[in-house]
Amino acid sequence: MRKIVWIMAVVVLAGCSEQPAGEMKSFPLSDVKLAEGSPFYRAQQADMHYMLAIDPDRLLAPYLTEAGLSPRKKGYGNWEGTGLNGHIGGHYLSALAFMYASAGNEELLERLNYMIDWLGKCQEEHGNGYVGGVPGSEALWEQIAAGNIQAEPFSLNGAWVPWYNLHKVFAGLRDAWEVTGIVKARDILTGLADWCYRLTENLTDEQMQDMLRCEHGGMNEVLADVYRITGDEKYLALARKFSHREILIPLMEGKDELTGKHANTQIPKVIGYRRIAELGNDTAWAQAAEFFWQTVVRNRTFVIGGNSNNEHFHAPGRFERVMHSTTGPETCNTYNMLRLTGMLYLAQPDARYMDFYERALYNHILTTQHPDGGFVYFTPLRPRHYRVYSRPDSCFWCCVGSGLENHGKYGEMIYAHNNKELYVNLFIPSTLHWKEKDLVLEQVTDFPLEDQTELRFSLKKDTRFVLYIRNPRWVRSGELAVQVNGEPVATEWLNSSWVAIDRNWKNNDVVSVYLPMHTYYETLPNTRNWIAFLHGPLVLASVTDTTDLEGLFAGSGRNDHMPSGPRYPLEETPTIAPVSPGFISEVKPVEGKPLTFRMPGLIEQEEYRNLELVPFYTVHEARYMIYWPVSRSSVMNELPARE
């Protein structure tokens, strides 16, 4: 581990603008390459191998069937064969586009073009712009067009969430066009949007809102995106028509009425509200999306960055009940919360968005893929429980679809920019090509194994711009330090969250950033009787045992995504002994084992005192502890939620 000697404190100056100079943008995935060796790179590669193990012809089977064509191969089973047929095919389009842009494997692009060619043939066969794998499509959509609507939360006229299913196709075609530039994907997308417009044209507002009681994904977002792509106002109007007011109106009024609602039904709706606000200059809708983000992150989120239990938002004051559950936060929820977070950040680059993004990225998204491939649906927080992993031949849950996408787009928010400023949001080893500035920026680091990073500049000519480096919430006040070419520099601060360096950058300039990490704790929200340990941005967990891991790698059963092994009694859970202020000093690093800690003086039961705390993203195929119960005789109620 490299160490830099810091000989001068950062100088704090006033006068830094609080607004970015121009529209904030993320960089195309093709312009950010992950460095080999990091946990994110390894996750990217595992995802790519899993992706290539899936047969496109089997994913296409539902689409060909609905178009009256003979499938080239038998379709997959599990959720793909029991009513949600075709949903993974839509996710697969997005995942192929993201991974091709990130990793550059030509086989991915070949598969993407192959999928799109066949979807185009299916659309031609339908003859009305439609393409989808929803079983019984023709009869279903005829009923909907006629205003015969029978909606339940997960059923529309007897079909399993058909608009949710179709949203994946819309999104996949959009991503194939915007990420890889495949013109045919854009043409199929606009044809599908036209079909949707005609289908719903004669439905009353009451009928639309009734229909939207059934989970429908982010239909409002993708239709707004079609407006952005084409400039045709009818699609923006259609996006508003697909916006569920039962959720929107309370959010506009600043009311949290989410308790008991299916979490991942709501988050994509809010992403759509934010996209419509962006494209339609609607402040009220933008504020509704911001309020949703605030209440979910502040009042409904666990230490790993995930939210909800058993797919639903629990009451904010009932977090402790989740410790009894064997389900826990769902991966799709965090996938969508990160999408919303990225949108809010680009609208206003507040570091609190990136603090949450980093927390959820390291401690939920990165943890939801097995090192050899396989995706997690639920992450149980119950002490001494475990996760279940998918297999590419038998498991086609929603979190497999979002999982395929997650690990192929790690590069999307490491950096951001406008015409005069470059933001370094995340400390992930990577190489950025900022084409407008003819700059290649290499971020060299072993973070989080080391608490520093270097930014190395390659420029053909001197270029002036402001470099913003995020000052993370987990760095103690005044401890972040910066050098340029080995010399401490005077810097400006923006809201104590960004350090700004405004200079004429030259070839071979090197910026060194020191990010000291400390060990601390957070309590379970709204209770002092459960705590979790962290080091820097990393949630620490302990492996307790590897027994009774039934169904560790899931089969094809409808509910095989849920861990079916026995629940170990909570009364036998390792317990933190009575503590007092300053107890965190008892969590001590283990010599010779990076990011590994022990706390024998804090654990009540002798048999558990040798347990080690390690980053949760390294824990797999095991039962684990994230939250620890604290002895009832402790004085935890007198302690702050975080040191």
Residue 642 is predicted with a pLDDT of 46
Residue 20 is predicted with a pLDDT of 62
Q: Identify the CA nearest to 323 among candidates 628, 566, 633, 546.
A: 628
| pLDDT per residue as tens digits for the range 523-577 | 998 888 999 999 999 999 999 999 999 999 999 999 999 999 999 999 999 999 9
β-strand partners of 452: 514
Residue 14 is predicted with a pLDDT of 26
- CA–CA distance, 344 with 120 (Å, rounded to integer): 34
Which residues, including other chains, have CB under 8 Å from residue 613's CB and lie 6 or more apart? 533, 540, 541, 542, 587, 596, 597, 598, 599
- CA–CA distance, 300 with 356 (Å, rounded to integer): 13
Residue 11 is predicted with a pLDDT of 31
- CA–CA distance, 528 with 523 (Å, rounded to integer): 6
| pLDDT per residue as tens digits for the range 23-78 | 899 999 999 999 999 999 999 999 999 999 999 999 999 999 999 999 999 999 99
Half-sphere exposure of 507 (CA within 13 A, CB side): 4
- CA–CA distance, 356 with 351 (Å, rounded to integer): 9
Whether 162 contacts 134, CB under 8 Å: yes
Helices within 53-86 (DSSP H only): 56-66
Whether 43 contacts 102, CB under 8 Å: no
pLDDT averaged over consecutive 10-residue blocks of the chain (643 residues)?
A: 35 38 89 97 98 98 98 98 98 98 98 98 98 98 98 98 98 98 98 98 98 98 98 98 98 98 98 98 97 97 97 91 94 98 96 97 98 98 98 98 98 96 98 97 98 98 97 94 92 80 97 97 91 98 98 96 96 91 94 97 96 98 97 56 45
Residue 492 is predicted with a pLDDT of 73
